[in-house]
Amino acid sequence: MKGIVNILELLLAGVILMLAFIHFFPQYSIKNQWSYALLEVYARDTLKTIDNLDNTYDYALADGVGNEFDNFMNRIYSIQHTDKVFVWWKDIEN
């Protein structure tokens, strides 16, 4: 009978140690950068589309003339198309 109790104590101690190690030292986890890469692809595609439409100069000079750039971005990246909210701005120097 003493042998069975010792084996049960050993098994219980082993289970407790394993649970403690799992709790204090969590499993290996991977953090990826797919959301950042996807945002880069969206931005590159947007700029390429603007360039293919030959509207780069017009969108760059729309300071007080109109809201062509904002209207374009609202059409392309509306919540109905992407299910996400994007914030964009343009900053032009020289």
Specify the pLDDT at position 38. 82
Specify the pLDDT at position 88. 63
- Which residue ranges make up each domain of the chain? 34-82
Specify the pLDDT at position 44. 84
Alpha-carbon distances of 35 from 44, 77, 78, 86, rounded to whole Å: 14, 16, 18, 13
Which one, of 74, 80, 70, 84, lies nearest residue 38 by Cα?
84
Convert the pLDDT of each residue in 4-62 to its tens digit.
888 999 999 999 999 998 888 877 777 777 877 887 888 788 888 878 888 777 676 65
CB 69 within 8 A of CB 59: yes
Which residue would you say has higher pLDDT here, 17 or 63?
Answer: 17
